[in-house]
Structure 1
Amino acid sequence: MVGTLIPVENTGMREQELLIQLGNRIKTLRKGAGLSQEQLGDKVGLTYESVSKLERGLNFTGLGTLFQISKALDCSLPDLFSWAPKRKLTADEEQLERAIDRLHSLHQSDEAPSADDIEELIRLINRKKRRKS
């Protein structure tokens, strides 16, 4: 049933670590989507308290709810489980990520990017292209 959480008090250490990683991933995706815990909960039939517990690895939920969460976060179900360690970004890559995040947040708020935002993104992309050549 969608919206059902399962307490995880009696799980082993490895399972608890996985639940914490899954919770962190959901939290990262939720924040990236510009949603509060309450807004995500409303979309998937959970209270904000339940979303909070899920994000902290204190509760687990069934596949149906995870599927609903992935839909609400506009990602695939496997994306919820893709928290593999990433290599450290270069300074240029970090700047590019920040510029992309800025444009994404503007898009989420229906605010138009400024000419400076677009110029910064183009500058960073061109710098990255030059370094690859």
Structure 2
Amino acid sequence: MRRKQLGRRIKLLRKERKLSQEALAELIDKSVDTISNIERGFASTRISTAFEIAQALKVSFTDLFDWVETVKQAPQQKAQAALVEKFRALLQGSAQATLADVAELTRAISEAASRQK
């Protein structure tokens, strides 16, 4: 069960960063089959591989195991978490951040500021 949860989390993070399985495999010097098996929960993941995946996805190691909170979150909390992740990517200088991400973050900040008044 935990392998599947970890696999789903890795897949979600990979897709958020617009990386293919091939690209992730290349970044960590593993085969596409390995990435596929990890994402489907068919293979145990070595800790060293999990660290490499986290580094390639530009997240902390513990972010890979953040599915517990994700599952329990309400839709608005999930949306907020996604915005935080986009903001984190921008702060880290991620090439994956797009103008649409910046616009979405700007809108969210503006809406939050309006609610504070």
Q: Are 1:37 and 1:52, in contact at CA under 8 Å, matched by a contact in 2?
A: yes
> Who is 2:21 aligned against?
37
Q: Specify which structure has the higher proportion of helix.
A: 2
CA contact (8 A) 2:17 2:96 kept: no
Residue 5 (structure 2) aligns with? 21
**2:41 pairs with 1:68:** no
Between the aligned partners of 1:63 and 1:109, the Cα distance in structure 2 is 26
Alpha-carbon displacement from aligned partner over 1:35-93 (angstroms, at most 9, x marks no partner): 11011111112111110111000001211111111111111111111111242133xx8
Large movers: runs of 4+ above 6 Å = none
Distance across 1 between alignment mates of 2:59 and 2:3:
19
What is the RMSD of the two structures over their aligned residues, measured on CA atoms? 3.2
1:8 maps to which residue?
A: none
Quote the Cα distance in structure 2 between the aligned partners of 1:109 and 1:78: 21
Partners of 1:34 and 1:108 within 8 A in 2: no
Aligned residue pairs total 108
Q: CA offset at residue 26 of structure 1?
A: 0.6
Alignment partners' CA distance in 2, 1:31 and 1:44: 16
- By percentage of residues, which structure has more strand? 1
User: Residue 24 of structure 1 contacts residue 55 of structure 1 at CA under 8 Å; is this kept in 2?
Assistant: yes
**Aligned counterparts of 1:122 and 1:39: Cα–Cα separation in 2:** 30
Identity of aligned residues (%): 34
In structure 2, C-alpha distance between the alignment counterparts of 1:73 and 1:81, rounded to whole Å: 13
Question: How many angstroms apart in 2 are the aligned matches of 1:125 and 1:110?
Answer: 17
Task: Tell me what 1:108 maps to.
Answer: 95
Query: 2:13, 2:40 → 1: CA distance?
Result: 14
Unaligned 5+ segments in structure 1 are 1-16
Question: Aligned partners of 1:22 and 1:81: how far apart in 2?
Answer: 6
The structure with the larger Rg is 1
TM-score by length of 1: 0.64
| Structure 2 runs not aligned, ≥5 long | none
